[in-house]
Amino acid sequence: FLVWVQVSWTIFLAGAELGYAWEHRSQRRALARAARMTRRERSTWAVLIAALCAKRFKRGEDSPTKQELVSRTGLAEAVIEDVLDDLIKAKVLGRLSDEEGHYIPARPVSELRVSDVLLGVIGTDGKGRDEAKLAAVSGVIASFWDTITRHESNVLLLDLDVD
């Protein structure tokens, strides 16, 4: 009897594992793609997501939810969460405290630029790093970011064609 119970449970649990793997195969592919994502790709997605939120807000439409962004971009939910967290920390986006968790611009959309998003995703605070090692290049980096923020391609998020 005990052998029969053991075999039955083994078959049942193996079937459950296979069912779970089959059901979540697309998410597994998305996570694998996310693991190979470069900083540039991540920054590009952040700009696209921020621009989408800004444009919808400007038009008075419903702001996107995390699930909508996942289905629209094809990225893994964990990647979308990370990008949204970066944008919230950078005060580019804010999350509404409703059930679905809509994301809206945290600043006036007429002031949000591509460089705001890039600085938010890449980070500028230097926390957790050895400041002495960074001091040697800080002037160059500051000049670089100054050039980027003043460049003509640093357009408003509203001017991007993401719809």
Find residue 102's DSSP bridge partners. 65
Residue 95 main-chain phi, psi, to 5 deg:
-110, 125
95 within 8 A of 87, measured Cβ to Cβ = no
**pLDDT tens-digit map of 52-67:** 999 999 999 999 999 9
Tracing tokens 């991007």 back to the chain, one arrives at 160
Please give the Cα distance from 104 to 162 (Å, whole number). 16
Residue 156: DSSP 8-state: B
Same domain, 50 and 72: yes
Number of folded domains in the chain? 2
Kind plus residue range of the DSSP H or E element containing 103:
strand 103-105
Same domain, 97 and 131: yes
CATH of residue 48: 1.10.10.10
**pLDDT tens-digit map of 65-122:** 999 998 888 888 888 888 999 899 989 999 998 888 899 999 999 989 888 888 888 7
Domain range for 15 is 1-36
